[in-house]
Every structure is written in structure tokens, then in C-alpha cells.
Amino acid sequence: MALDNDENGTESPEEITSEEATTAESPVPAEGPPSPPPPAPDPTPTAAPEVDAGPREKADVGKRVLAALIDCGIAIVMAFVPGVGQLLGSAYMILRDGLDLDFMNHRSIGKQVMKLHVETVDGAPLELMTSVKRNWIFAIGPLVPLVFIIPLLGLLLFPFLAFASLALGITELVPALTDAEGRRLGDKWANTIVVED
């Protein structure tokens, strides 16, 4: 671009000829063949990468039993709260592995003490609904004494319901002892596994 001096001694641009404009705008050709344009972004949404959980070690059965006893003890203590005790104990048994409280960290108090935690088979922490799906069977036991509200029928129903609750608990215990990964029926329904920290 050519510049002339104007009356004030400052330089001012002259008109640019089309030949000068063409050479100014065109880039210097690079050596070798031109590079291909970048690929267009894929418009299809990508799924989140799957977590490779890999083989996990089966949680120690003794630790699991102690954690369950601690949790049952907590539910029994809650059951003594007048009026709502059975409901509180039952709610704890259902929600215990999915509560996101600082001192629990998505696991029951018994599992916290025994350094165990429940996770999905993908390795994610439990949410409340997964905990409900996994533990609903243990909510029956604390609710059995509520049948005494019904005067005569409660006395008749109590032994049957107590036996049914005990049988369901044993049904859950056997796979925890015999399964290769220690997964009980609730774990299979909720797609979860108990692992050590």
C-alpha cells in the first residue's frame, strides 16, 4: 500500500489497486499438498462412557452380618419412639443405603462402621429409589407389630406375619452367603453389589 504525505506532514493511504489487493489478501502457498478441511462434528449425541467396574472382591460375609445387626439395632431403637416408631424404623431400613447425608455417604450406618458400601454394578453410588428397590423386603419386619392395632385380628395375624418376615429375611441371607459375588435377591433386583472400601 502506497502512502503520501499530506499538508500536515502525516501519511495518508492512497487508493489500492486491484492487483495490490489480490496479492495482499492471498496467503503464501504452503509447501506440499493443501491440508484437508477439519471433519464436521458428528450431530448424533454420544452416550456417556461406560464405567468398567472390573472384577470386584466379594465383601466379607462377617462384616456384612455385623453391619446388618447394627442397622437392625438402629431400627429397633427407632421402633420405641411413641406413635411413629415402627414407621421410622421401617423407613430407615428401606432408605439406609441411599441417604446422601454427610455422615452416611450413600450407605447405612452399619456399613459405614464396617467400612462397606453398596454401589450399582456400574460403580455408581446408590440413589434413594435404588435403595428402596434393594431393601423393601426388610421394611416388613418393623411394621409387623402394627397389626396389634386391630384388636382380635392382630393377635391372629401377628404369628403369620412374623414368620413371613423371618422367612423373607432368610431367603435374602442365603444368596448373600452362597452367591459368587455375595449378591442377595435385593442386589439382583436393584442391580447392586456390596463392596469393601
pLDDT digits (tens, 9 = 90+) for 107-147: 899 999 999 999 999 988 888 999 999 999 888 888 888 88
Query: Any idea which of 37-41, 65-69, 107-111, 132-136 has the lowest mean pLDDT?
Result: 37-41
Q: What would the mean pLDDT of 49-63 be, rounded to a whole number?
A: 66
Query: Any idea which of 30-44, 72-86, 146-160, 173-187 has the lowest mean pLDDT?
Result: 30-44
Query: Looking at residue 134, what is its pLDDT?
Result: 93
Strands 192-196 and 11-13: unpaired
Burial of 53 (0-12, 13-18, 19+ CB in 10 A): middle
- Picking from 10, 11, 13, 168, the residue whose alpha carbon sits closest to that of residue 2 is 13
The residue among 106 and 23 whose pLDDT is bigger is: 106
How much of the chain is in helix, strand and coil states, percent to nearest 5?
50, 10, 40
Q: What would the mean pLDDT of 54-76 be, rounded to a whole number?
A: 86
Query: Looking at residue 77, what is its pLDDT?
Result: 92
Query: Looking at residue 16, what is its pLDDT?
Result: 52
Q: pTM value?
A: 0.65
Q: Find out whether 123 and 48 touch, Cβ atoms under 8 Å.
A: no
Q: What would the mean pLDDT of 156-170 be, rounded to a whole number?
A: 90
Query: Looking at residue 43, what is its pLDDT?
Result: 53
Query: Looking at residue 45, what is its pLDDT?
Result: 47
Q: Find out whether 74 and 67 touch, Cβ atoms under 8 Å.
A: no
- Does residue 174 surpass a pLDDT of 70? yes
